[in-house]
Chains A and B, each alone.
Chain A
Amino acid sequence: AQSVTQLGSHVSVSEGALVLLRCNYSSSVPPYLFWYVQYPNQGLQLLLKYTSAATLVKGINGFEAEFKKSETSFHLTKPSAHMSDAAEYFCAVSGNTGRRALTFGSGTRLQVQP
């Protein structure tokens, strides 16, 4: 069965600092991986997705993520945090066989300090 683990339920950074949100996946087949962002009381918005093409994926709002098969990781980064990045971030995985509906991690809440 596929799953994702997000390390750190809360991450706090200063404005202008590097953002690093961690995601590790478990899948018996090459996965499709996604990062979503959620602002309070809203739905989820897709930031970026990995679909077995380039291992470094660029998304919206300056975010990017790198797929590392050897580490089973798909960490989300942004070079310089902005106050508007404060939100909850979810990593998700979809397998190529069996269950294909997205399986989500438990989320990481990002705080950006002025």
Chain B
Amino acid sequence: DGGITQSPKYLFRKEGQNVTLSCEQNLNHDAMYWYRQDPGQGLRLIYYSQIVNDFQKGDIAEGYSVSREKKESFPLTVTSAQKNPTAFYLCASSIAFMNTEAFFGQGTRLTVV
């Protein structure tokens, strides 16, 4: 089945540690995205990638980093510089970066203690 896989579903980390969230898609989509979801705030764009080997900052990129070395993979690293990392993280992809719907993974809930 085609889709987007995020792993793990739940992640716990100690404060000050970097952590990497995995996102893999087998839809052959060019564009991929990372969103952060907090209660009452909707989804906020962290980073996006229009094509392999290219990525751009979204609205809340501080404290995060990404890479796009392969078309199907777009991992997100939450660094120790992110002041409030506990959140629900959603990865998405779309066939192109132009007015098409995005398809979402099941999310990773990160808790930093």
Whole-angstrom distance between the alpha carbons of A42 and B6 in the complex?
Answer: 11
Q: Chain A residue with minimal CB distance to B56? A: A101
CA distance A46 to B103 in the complex (A): 8
Q: How many residues on B have C-beta within 8 angstroms of the other chain's C-beta atoms?
A: 26
Give 6 new A-B contacts, CB below 8 A, not counting A32-B99, A100-B98: A44-B104, A90-B43, A95-B99, A101-B48, A102-B45, A104-B43
Decide yes or no whether B109 CB sits under 8 A from chain A. yes
- Given A43-B90, A43-B104, A45-B104: A9 in contact with B40 (beta carbons within 8 A): yes
Interchain CB contact under 8 A, B33 and A101: yes
Q: Hey, which bits of chain A sit against chain B, CB under 8 A? A: 9, 32, 34, 36, 41-46, 49, 51, 90, 94-96, 100-107
- Could you show 8 A-B contacts with beta carbons less than 8 Å apart? A42-B106, A44-B102, A100-B98, A102-B45, A102-B102, A103-B45, A106-B40, A106-B42
Other-chain residue from B41, B45, B90, B92 in contact with A106 (beta carbon distance below 8 A): B41
